[in-house]
Amino acid sequence: MTTTEHDLIVVGAGFAGMYTTIHAARRGLDILGIEAGDDVGGTWYWNRYPGARCDVESIDYSYSFDDELQREWRWRERYATQPEILEYLSHVADRFDVRRHYRFGERVAGATWDEAAHRWTVRTQNGLTASARWLAMATGGLSQPQLPDIPGRDSFTGEVLQTSAWPHRQVDFTGKRVAVIGTGSSGVQAIPLIAATAAEVVVYQRSANYSIPAFNHPIDDDEWDRQQQNLRRRRELSWNGSAGSPWTSHPVPFDEATLAEREAVFEESWRRGGVLFAKAFQGLTVEPRINDAAREFFERKLAERVPDPHVRAALTPTDHPLGTKRICTDSSYYETFTLPHVRLVNLREDPLVAVDPTGIRTATGLREHDAIVYATGFDAMTGALTAMDIRGRDDRSLRDEWQGFPVTYLGIGLPGFPNLLVLNGPGSPSVLSNMALTSEQQGEYALRLIDHCRAEGLTSAEARADAATAWTEHSLELADRTLFGSAPSWYTGSNIEGKARGFLPYIGGFRAYIDRADQVAAEGYRGFILSTR
């Protein structure tokens, strides 16, 4: 098979890949996009489970780069569903003619740096090979699903489903006895909808999570008009905020607020919905006393939602401070456990032993099921890249290097891997921020680096090892000052056996990150080795 030659290969057609492709094409670069799915969408292409929804408001979780696009796309709900987001991304793809650049249904197997040519050669599992000077990895932070290695897992004879690889058809649970393993955001979103039609739902919970109601609603015309009038300001706040959204913490510090004020602030933040609750007071995920007050508030709310003290106790998180694992954003999750056909198995008390041909065996016995839904998460932030065989200078293997903690410069550059630009990589704000905007920022940053090199006649840009080490240490130090490190979560890699532990995203805030990254660029890409072949 012949190897095609390009300026830039973009892997992935989610928010970041599409942004990069659109803007690379505008610059006149010859681009090849490679995408494992059969169409655009990234996360939203794969995660088609019932109830799948973004936990960032739709008005914010959309591209900001084109005013007309912002005006013409009318979001239907405060928090968009997966089909609506996929429809949006498909619309963007049509509007900017994105698909013509992509080869779909092609999963990258590996990529090799050619030091003599200063080019990458990329191979897909189907045997497609292509070469380019630049390689942008827009492969997503939550795109490498993890299916736990439970004894007997593959012996089950009923239907097996995975939230992150959901079939492209309506799955009918009517009259079925369904097991759900996993109670992160995916499980929490899917369980109420599965319970709406299933005859029986058994939820196998290893760790209870904090889940806060979304207070989702359809956006009526009045609200839409208000949002549109306010959009410029809203975007400004988002681009200058810590998490790519317009919301900020209460201006009065927790310690200066009276008990009544604290209660009112928690209530208001609660009503704002979902993950935004963690923003109630500045320092909520830093200071144990603020976190405890938020937790107590949460527990009182939980008591209203789940009257049965035994079930409630099992649903109460005990192993992490509030907000240090991603808060789930739900619609009627806890209320689902008040239904007579829904049961919770607390795996901490009744451990999972094996999957049998007919069901799931725990220490107390076998429960029979017609279907098992795995909502068991991802090898987050690094998994998509370590799944590929990426070979940098001197045959350095990215997979081997990331056996240890991933050392990156700004999340984008990797020492030893020239011209490999990781978008939303470990060491960038990524999942802690609104990924629609981080994707724009990351894509633009990568393209400006390419512009710079082209303008200067340079053919290679590689992060310096000392710059990457300093950045990664800085990122880890910031995380150490918070409560995040004490939580076993995918943010720290602790959900994957054998994965190096450490806080993966950059927690210093979206704006602070942009300022640091822009400063690097303004100083001629300080920390990158720029060279000519």
182 binds ligand NA7 (CB under 6 A): yes
Q: Are 242 and 437 in contact (CB under 8 A)?
A: no
Could you tell me which stretch among 81-89, 178-186, 432-440, 454-462 binds ligand NA7 (CB under 6 A)? 178-186
Spatial distance between the Cα atoms of 508 and 510, rounded to a whole number of angstroms: 7
User: CA-CA distances (angstroms) from residue 488 to 32, 377, 503?
Assistant: 38, 13, 10
Could you tell me which stretch among 125-133, 177-185, 223-231, 475-483 binds ligand NA7 (CB under 6 A)? 177-185
Shortest separation between residue 352's beta carbon and ligand NA7, angstroms = 6
Could you tell me which stretch among 200-208, 243-251, 354-362, 398-406 binds ligand NA7 (CB under 6 A)? 200-208
The encoded tokens of residue 76 equal 């239907």
52 binds ligand NA7 (CB under 6 A): no
Q: Contact with ligand NA7 (CB under 6 A): which of 334, 490, 510, 528?
A: 490
Residue type, 57: E
Residues 103-142 close enough to bind ligand NA7 by CB under 6 A: 142
Q: Contact with ligand NA7 (CB under 6 A): which of 148, 158, 485, 527?
A: 148
Residues 365-424 close enough to bind ligand NA7 by CB under 6 A: 375-377
Q: Contact with ligand NA7 (CB under 6 A): which of 62, 143, 207, 408?
A: 207
495 binds ligand NA7 (CB under 6 A): yes
Q: Contact with ligand NA7 (CB under 6 A): which of 352, 496, 521, 530?
A: 352
Q: Contact with ligand NA7 (CB under 6 A): which of 185, 269, 424, 438?
A: 185
Torsion of CA 474, 475, 478, 480, to 10 degrees: -100
Residue type, 85: I
The encoded tokens of residue 124 equal 């897909």
Residue 129 in 3-state DSSP? strand
Angle, helices 510-522/435-456, rounded to nearest 10 degrees: 0
Q: Which of 31/315 has CB closer to ligand NA7?
A: 315
Q: Which of 186/238 has CB closer to ligand NA7?
A: 186
Spatial distance between the Cα atoms of 316 and 443, rounded to a whole number of angstroms: 40
Spatial distance between the Cα atoms of 188 and 440, rounded to a whole number of angstroms: 29
Spatial distance between the Cα atoms of 467 and 473, rounded to a whole number of angstroms: 10
**CA angle, 173 as apex, 171 and 179 as ends, to 5°?**
105
Number of residues that bind ligand NA7 (CB under 6 A): 22
439 binds ligand NA7 (CB under 6 A): no
Q: Which residues bind ligand NA7 (CB under 6 A)?
A: 142, 148, 150, 163, 181-187, 204, 206-207, 326, 347, 352, 375-377, 490, 495
